[in-house]
Chain A
Amino acid sequence: MRARIVAVLNQKGGVGKTTTSVNLTHALAKLGKKITVIDFDPQSHLTVSLGVVDPQKGGIDEVLLEGRNLAKQLIPVRENLNLVIAGPRLQEIEQLVDGGARRGDLLRKALHEGNRDEDFIFIDCPPSSGVLVANALFAADEILVPMTSDYLALQGLSHLMGTIKKFESALKKSYKFSLVMSRYIPTRRMSKDVLSVIQKYFPGQILATTIRETALLAECPSFGKTIFEYRPGCRSARDFTALAKDFLEGRMM
């Protein structure tokens, strides 16, 4: 069975894409799933968050620009969890415009060739809507959108849904789509109001567990640790374990 390819996507910055990519994939790996996670952001925050530091080494950039085999770029970072780093040339892709639409297909081709044995491939997307995100959307079967609960995030979600619909009609496919409420502040009234608006438009598409805003989650990237290593058993670790189960079992709000 082919791996499910999941793009962790939101063009808005700082909403928790990387935090979700790191901790959800580690949670899934701990539940026994085989995962590859791709750092698809030239900022390389995912790589840093997983404790890998080698900015000169090639990664997904070489796969896309030089046709190198993806299997050669896998770095085992945790049990059941492989990482493909961004690589120093990834930002060049964002600037490649000459090839037009053809450029959108690079990642999809790379992920579909060869025999892959993962259960899931996650793509941590950059906060933009350029060529990289187009590549992620070409490649993905599923889209997971981390959402914060503020007004401008709603505005951003509207923009994002427009983009996704455009891709669906251009590529004649329909994504499995889910939202995860990230950086959620349960005591704030705005959070609940934003959530209720989202529930109205995305019934059955919001993962049941909300990821709450906590200091620990903000701290762990600087130690290159996931929440399960930084503070096992803490509230945020429990949030992500519950989220991983929601994700596997399709449990929605």
Chain B
Amino acid sequence: MDISTFTWTIFAILAIAIAVAVLNFLGNRTKKDTFLLLGLSDSGKTSLFLKLRYGSLVQTHTSMKENEGHFIINDNGIPLVKNPIHIVDVPGHEKLRFKFSDFIPITRGIIFVIDSSTCAKNSRQIAEYLYDIFAHKNVKNIPTLIACNMSDMITALPPERIRTILENEINHLRKTRTSGLDHQDSVDEVEYLGYESENFKFEHLENEVVFEKCSVKDGEINVIKEWIIDTLQGK
């Protein structure tokens, strides 16, 4: 092979790689357009992701890996905003959740999906996940929508009720988590949720937290789209 072709090829590739890296870096710094779909396993995150993206209902199983994509929030194909946003569906399995914190630095908003029909039974698990999210040191200012999914089920609880259940549960967790044993070496930086003297309420958080009911199955997800758009526009 010709030496000059060789050098030239390498040079060109390096140049492109650097350009891409720089653009990427700048891009990440200037705009946060990532929305995270979080929540327990089987709450309907992947279904919601697919519904938002393609407008249709698709059969799903437990996720082992994130689903992510850049796309424009649309209503039956009609774009509702100009620019595509980045949506990441993080698997809800306990062993895979930790991935969410990788995305926090670029996150504009969190959509926490709950199965309203099993919420009472799973309240502790839901609250523990929420606790981990809100106590994360960099989540303080990220607006959060608690999407109470599966409202089509007869057993679904209304968002108001879910809110109180979770507040009670987080109230307990606040006590037990702060008196747990130390971690092996360094102290973890976690935030105390709410006010020490009062029972926990979501409005005590610095984050804006909204509860809405929705049903991916029945296509009732307009509240979610509206919330995303409002959050993007800084409302």
Q: Do A and B come from one complex?
A: no
Chain A residues proximal to chain B, CB less than 8 Å: none
